[in-house]
Amino acid sequence: MADQSFWKNKRVCVTGGAGFLGSFVTQKLVERGAADIFIPTIEKYDLVKQSSIKQMLEDSKPDIIIHLAAQVGGIGANLSHPADFFYDNLMMGVQLIHEAYLRGVEKVVALGTICAYPKFTPVPFQEDDLWNGYPEETNAPYGLAKKMLLVQSQAYRQQYGFNSIFLLPVNLYGPRDNFRPESSHVIPALIKKCLEAKTEGAKSIEVWGDGSPTREFLYVEDAAEGILLATEKFNKSDPVNLGSGMEISIKDLVTLIARLTGFTGELIWDVTKPNGQPRRQLDVTRAKREFGFKAQVSFEEGLRRTIDWYQAKLDAEK
């Protein structure tokens, strides 16, 4: 249950607030009655730089920071830019938490990533297994950079009593997602491929890997709700998974997206391309227990909404 009173007279800074997830978090903040929301834009604040972070904090004077800004992408983008993904994400998060502590900010909500988990983790992934091995190689630099925010959150709480929390969202999807082929994740990439193939009358589409890995997905509005519930109710530095608790193979995912988009051609698997982590599914009991979060939107319904949104965007561009 949302706590409307929590946001009364609170100044909230949402880094990445103009992005995919951030736009839904901001929308829900407005619905909860938050009147003072500051969204730093990349044009004005380069959050990789300490000077920009200081300027942003001076301009926004926040009581609460929700740190969503990140350098993200699919397997291809991670393989092409591992150094950027490591450096940019580490610098943004570590300096932001430190400067927030120095300024006496009331609470920081830091977002991690499912990529922080070890490559071979008992399924479903439990938060206590986070340190039991090295992450999957294709996105380890990104996953480890984000994982350092958990270390920092726990260290600053222990030494300074600083209130920050660390959430581990699974792969997100939904309307307003990034559909650019060079940096998109698997769901928007597949939706785009299927719709383009259908429009062009193509007989087949190519898909990376062999289809055997499994993934879990969380609808973006559910993720936004989980983040705000945690902000309102959770005040520990223990990591918390944010997910739907469902698991689907990439093969079944592609088949489902093809059906929902109306693409009836052949699926060709490029087994020379990496599969990524073998299985991913989160144990979501801690989020339910600690702040009452449970995903509401079914996977097929979420996919329909995403496809409808993207199709409408394509139609508007014609």
Which among 142, 173, 219, 310 is annotated as catalytic?
142
Q: Is 117 an active-site residue?
A: no
Residue 131 DSSP one-character state: T
User: Alpha-carbon distance 103 to 114, whole Å?
Assistant: 30
User: Alpha-carbon distance 137 to 276, whole Å?
Assistant: 8
Residue 185: closest CA among 193, 177, 195, 197: 177
What is residue 249's three-state secondary structure? strand
DSSP per residue, 15-72: ETTTSHHHHHHHHHHHHTT--EEE---TTT--TTSHHHHHHHHHHH--SEEEE-----
Contact 48, 89 (CB under 8 A): no
* Rounded alpha-carbon distances, angstroms, from residue 57 to 43, 97, 172, 288: 16, 11, 28, 32
Q: Which residues are annotated as catalytic?
A: 142
